Amino acid sequence: MINLADDSKAEPQDIFDREEKLKWLMKAYGNDVIRIAYTYLKQKQLAEDVAQDVFIKCYEKMDTFKHQSSYKTWLIRITVNRCKDVLKSWSFKNVLITDFFKSKLTYSTLEQQYFSSDENEITSQQIIALPVKLREVIILFYYQDFSIEEIAELLLINPNTVKTRLHRGRLKLKESLGAWSFHAE
């Protein structure tokens, strides 16, 4: 057995067999995959299901990986594509409508929502509330530490489009977080 404890984010060696590579990828990037999926889908269980699908696909396609990008970039691209498929599906739209009505029954007032969370959760909620195109670049840039060029490559868009979406996302967050602090006073 190969020891991965020293650097869990280092690229796997060619001496790993498929199962060891998969275990390494799950350990190194599993939380990142779940977080990205959650930012798209806004449901923990669904994000975990997508992560499982991503790693199954990764295992199936591991021999065809050409090392033109990092494993992380490859996994995030698979995750983004899978999330977009889920968002287009009828079952997701049906579940989303049901969850919307359940959430209206869960919180009776804005104050309960505010006092049940801390600043980080409020910020996270505001990021999750952004449109997908803005949310994905904010998450990839600030939370996954991808460069603008890497995000452009990952999402198959122009780097200037990434910059524009980052700018618009920041403005929307500033507006929404300003509204939160105003209502909290």
CA torsion sign for 96, 99, 101, 107 is negative
Structural domain that includes position 153: 108-185
Establish if 5 belongs to a structural domain. Answer: no
- Output the tens digit of pLDDT for each of the chain's 185 residues: 334 444 445 555 556 788 898 999 999 999 999 999 998 888 888 899 999 999 999 999 988 888 888 889 999 999 999 998 888 876 555 554 444 434 443 444 443 444 444 556 677 778 888 888 998 898 888 878 889 999 998 888 999 999 999 999 999 988 887 765 444 44
Residue type, 66: K
Rounded Cα distance between 25 and 121, Å, is 28
Supply the CATH number for residue 82's domain.
1.10.1740.10
Establish if 57 belongs to a structural domain. Answer: yes
Q: Are 128 and 44 in contact (CB under 8 A)?
A: no
Q: Which of 77, 106, 135 is the last residue of a domain?
A: 106
CA torsion sign for 17, 19, 20, 24 is positive
